């Protein structure tokens, strides 16, 4: 018993020298230490989960710098809604048409479209086989989901440019591929969508 | 000298780190929940805050609770300590729930039903954990003064 008290005393003097001052302070509320501990373990859990999830899902950064990923045009690890650039730049890419092969689910496929640099409310029109599916779509950093038939030809037509060109990214979640593209005013990019 | 350093650090902490952290921790769960609803309503994924950022915010919160020189706010308003803890746990739960939603909306690894099931289950488990926690460690003031 006496030994224990001695040990505690030594421990207390140790604490005074270091930053561990909290033990000498009375608790503000009951179970303060427990509440604090839960925050600590929550932080550890979040770190572990963050590392685990990033290994599982990744992001565009696993393919190189923002400049490289956008210049390469096609990315397999971009998460929908990711914005490699925060200002109105696009690695100098030019308008391009793509052929897309998707594993369709019952003749339909999902297409996600978003603004991959600064959100400046550029407007586009989405046409499927020449027929307008969305008369006006304001591009945002948050992706918009569009259901498209497979096979089909999807055209993204530029309606309004708020400066810096209309740059956007299109992702087909069925085959997890993202295409970085730009479109001019009243011009169009086509995506020829074919089933696997 | 040590006291001055502590005071300056506390001042820096309360001016630059703490307000932003608390703002995000308190409103983060709500914002993530609206994002979660959007994902299922629109079928389009939403990027959450990310667990890495949440872990960083949690670390700052933990510092504020651990060190006496930084815990001034809890001595003034003791109820904030369990409140921030509750918000922080909810934030982790909501972000996990959103991750499951994105597994469907963005990556199509799981089906919509499975994603909704996992999202709801995550929130329920988180809620049950908080109920258990406050049953085990009830919030009550200490009458020190």
Three-state DSSP state, A9: helix
CA distance A154 to A10: 75
Do A74 and A141 share a domain, yes or no?
A: yes
Residue A19 in this model has a pLDDT that exceeds 60: no
Q: Which of B2, B84, B108 best probes binding to A when mutated, by most A CB atoms within 10 angstroms?
A: B108
- Burial of residue B15 (CB within 10 Å: 0-12, 13-18, 19+) is exposed
User: pLDDT-based confidence at A40, cuts 50/70/90?
Assistant: very high
Residue A86 in this model has a pLDDT that exceeds 70: yes
Per-residue pLDDT, averaged over B80-102, amounts to 94
Within 8 A of B69 by CB-CB distance, chain A residues are 21
User: pLDDT-based confidence at A24, cuts 50/70/90?
Assistant: low
Do A114 and A166 share a domain, yes or no?
A: yes
pLDDT tens for each residue of B92-141: 999 999 999 999 999 888 999 999 999 999 999 999 999 999 999 988 77
Contact A50 B50 (CB under 8 A): yes
User: pLDDT-based confidence at A61, cuts 50/70/90?
Assistant: confident
Give the pLDDT score at A106.
Answer: 72
Residue B81 in this model has a pLDDT that exceeds 80: yes
pLDDT tens for each residue of A88-105: 888 889 999 999 988 766
Do A96 and A32 share a domain, yes or no?
A: no
Do A17 and A83 share a domain, yes or no?
A: no
Do A176 and A159 share a domain, yes or no?
A: yes
Choice between B96 and B145, residue whose per-residue pLDDT is larger:
B96
H runs (alpha helix) in A58-129:
66-71
Give the pLDDT score at A41.
Answer: 94
ipTM of the complex: 0.87
Give the pLDDT score at A105.
Answer: 65
CA distance B20 to B143: 31
Contact B89 A38 (CB under 8 A): yes
Contact B45 A143 (CB under 8 A): yes
Contact B45 A45 (CB under 8 A): no
Residue B35 in this model has a pLDDT that exceeds 60: yes
Give the pLDDT score at A91.
Answer: 86
CA distance A119 to A177: 22
Residue B52 in this model has a pLDDT that exceeds 80: yes
Contact B49, B32 (CB under 8 A): yes
Q: How many independent structural domains does chain A possess? A: 2
Give the domain range for residue A47.
Answer: 2-57
Residue % of chain A over a pLDDT of 70 = 86
Measured between CB atoms, does A43 come within 8 Å of chain B?
yes
- In terms of average pLDDT, the best of A3-17, A106-120, A150-164, B82-96 is B82-96
From the list A34, A36, A112, which residue is nearest B66 (CB)? Answer: A36
Residue B24 in this model has a pLDDT that exceeds 50: yes
Residue A2 in this model has a pLDDT that exceeds 70: no
Contact A31 B137 (CB under 8 A): yes
User: pLDDT-based confidence at A30, cuts 50/70/90?
Assistant: confident
Do A66 and A17 share a domain, yes or no?
A: no
Domain boundary among A57, A86, A101: A57
User: pLDDT-based confidence at B54, cuts 50/70/90?
Assistant: very high
From the list A29, A42, A174, which residue is nearest B58 (CB)? Answer: A42
Per-residue pLDDT, averaged over B76-98, amounts to 93
Contact A174, A162 (CB under 8 A): no
Do A126 and A50 share a domain, yes or no?
A: no
Domain boundary among A57, A84, A103: A57
Transcribe B30-96 into DSSP letters.
HHHHHHHHHHHHH--------HHHHHHHHHHHHHHHH-GGGTHHHHH-TTHHHHHHHHHHHHHHHHH
Q: Pairing state of beta strands A74-75 and A123-128? A: unpaired
Give the pLDDT score at A7.
Answer: 43
Q: For chain B, which residues make up each domain, given as ranges?
A: 2-136
- Which CATH number covers residue A92? 2.60.60
Give the pLDDT score at A12.
Answer: 44
From the list B44, B51, B106, which residue is nearest A49 (CB)? Answer: B51
Give the pLDDT score at A57.
Answer: 74
Measured between CB atoms, does A27 come within 8 Å of chain B?
yes
Do A30 and A102 share a domain, yes or no?
A: no
Hey, which residues 33-72 in chain B have their CB within 8 Å of chain A? 38, 42-47, 50-52, 54-55, 58-59, 61-62, 65-69, 71
Domain boundary among A14, A31, A57: A57
Contact A176 B107 (CB under 8 A): yes
pLDDT tens for each residue of B2-12: 889 988 988 99
Contact B55 A32 (CB under 8 A): no
User: pLDDT-based confidence at B72, cuts 50/70/90?
Assistant: confident
CA distance A142 to chain B (A): 6
pLDDT tens for each residue of A142-196: 999 999 998 899 999 999 998 888 999 999 988 889 999 999 998 999 999 988 8
Measured between CB atoms, does B140 come within 8 Å of chain A?
yes
Do A130 and A147 share a domain, yes or no?
A: yes
């Amino acid at each position: 018993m006496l030994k224990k008290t001695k040990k505690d005393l030594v421990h207390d003097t140790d604490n005074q020298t270091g930053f561990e001052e909290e033990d000498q302070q009375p608790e503000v509320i009951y179970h303060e230490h427990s509440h604090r501990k839960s925050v600590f373990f929550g932080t550890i859990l979040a770190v572990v989960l963050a590392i685990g999830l990033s290994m599982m899902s990744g992001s565009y950064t696993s393919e190189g710098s923002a400049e490289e990923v956008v210049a390469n045009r096609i990315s397999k690890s971009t998460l929908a809604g990711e914005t490699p650039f925060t200002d109105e730049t696009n690695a100098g890419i030019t308008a391009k048409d793509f052929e897309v092969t998707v594993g369709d689910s019952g003749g339909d496929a999902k297409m996600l479209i978003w603004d991959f640099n600064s959100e400046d409310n550029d407007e586009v029109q989405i046409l499927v086989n020449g027929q307008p599916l969305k008369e006006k779509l304001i591009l945002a950093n948050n992706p918009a989901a569009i259901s498209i038939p497979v096979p089909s030809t999807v055209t993204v037509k530029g309606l309004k440019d708020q400066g810096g060109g209309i740059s956007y990214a299109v992702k087909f979640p069925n085959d997890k591929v993202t295409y970085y593209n730009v479109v001019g005013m009243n011009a169009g990019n086509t995506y020829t969508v074919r089933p696997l | 000298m040590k006291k001055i350093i502590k005071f300056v650090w506390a001042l820096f902490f309360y001016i630059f780190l703490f307000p932003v952290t608390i703002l995000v921790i308190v409103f983060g769960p709500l914002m993530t929940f609206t994002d979660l609803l959007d994902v299922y309503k629109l079928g389009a994924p939403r990027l959450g805050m990310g667990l890495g950022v949440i872990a960083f915010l949690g670390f700052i919160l933990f510092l504020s609770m651990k060190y006496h020189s930084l815990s001034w706010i809890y001595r003034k308003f003791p109820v904030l300590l369990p409140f921030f803890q509750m918000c922080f746990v909810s934030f982790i739960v909501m972000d996990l729930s959103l991750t499951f939603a994105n597994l469907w909306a963005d990556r199509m690894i799981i089906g919509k039903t499975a994603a909704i099931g996992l999202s709801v289950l995550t929130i329920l488990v988180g809620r049950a954990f908080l109920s258990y926690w406050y049953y085990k460690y009830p919030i009550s003031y200490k009458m020190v003064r």
